Amino acid sequence: MKKFGLILFILVVFCTRAGTQGNYGYKVHEGPQGTYSSQTGDFAGSSNVLFIVDFSNSMNEQLYGVSKLSMALNTLYEILPKIPPSVNVGLRVYGHTSGFTYFQGCMASKLLVPLGTGNRDAIYGALAKTRAVGWTPITYSLKQAVANDFGGIKTRKHIILLTDGGENCDESPCTYVIELMKYRDDISIDVIAFDVNDYEARAQLRCTALTTSGKFFTASNAGELRDSLFESLNIDREVKGTVRVKPGN
């Protein structure tokens, strides 16, 4: 029992210290745009991909004269048609409704489009109609995704979390996934930290990815965001596809 406790302690320290000191079962490398990847497994090309997209109010902030939300949506519109049609894709969002109480704000997460293969137009439509107004309940969103969104799916599951901030509800995504990985080995989470400058938030998000043998990316502009999504999905940037443009742009 003492040995197990020591191993868990080492894992927590590794995750929260940015994954750059020591080697405790993970082989980590840094690549372009601040990419960190566990090489213990490659889950690129998964047949089940769930996007969890941040629609918190801070996504309305501008970078280089363009809102972060517009950058995120235009990049998603570009990449969706390049995902093979045989791949199940789904969309969950959080922060899409405003809440004046902790209860309302920290449960503002919803599966807008269930996993499927013929739902790309539904995803485009859902993204275009959703507004960024709320909080950042990351852990609650992950819990809902694991418990409900992948229901009945036996094959590997790949979550891509795109967020511009850390958890601001009374939970920790890092702590949650450490517990989750004790009994699940079929889920990987790639995290794209978009314009996240807070050290603690980045450490939590990095831990969330690496603990699940996922990838951690940092992006500070539209180009880096695009590169992160392409690498997460292991899609050739030259693959032909119909590029959708956000309505009104």
Q: Phi, psi (5° rounding) for residue 210?
A: -65, -35
Query: Which amino acid, residue 221?
Result: N
pLDDT digits (tens, 9 = 90+) for 144-184: 999 999 988 989 999 999 999 999 998 999 999 999 999 99
* 88-97 burial: b if 16+ Cβ within 10 Å, else e: bbbbbbbbbb
Q: How many residues does the chain have?
A: 249
Measured distance between the N- and C-terminal CA atoms of the chain, rounded to whole angstroms: 58
Give 119's pLDDT tier (boundaries 50, 70, 90): very high
Q: Where are the domains of the chain?
A: 2-18+29-233
Q: Using pLDDT thresholds of 50, 70 and 90, give the confidence band for residue 238.
A: low
Find out whether 31 and 219 touch, Cβ atoms under 8 Å.
no
- Taking a C-beta distance cutoff of 8 angstroms, is the pair 169, 99 a contact? no
Q: In this predicted model, what pLDDT tens digit does every residue of 12-36 receive, in sequence order?
A: 434 433 333 332 232 333 333 444 4
Which alpha helices (DSSP H) does the chain contain, by range? Answer: 2-16, 68-79, 102-105, 120-129, 138-144, 173-180, 199-211, 222-233
Quick: pLDDT tens for 90-102. Answer: 999 999 998 778 8
Residues 17 and 194: their CA atoms lie apart, in Å, by 19
Report which of 79, 152, 82 is spatially closest to residue 115, judged by C-alpha positions.
152
Name the CATH superfamily, with its identifier, for domain 2-18+29-233. von Willebrand factor, type A domain (3.40.50.410)
**Per-residue tokens: 212:** 């699940």
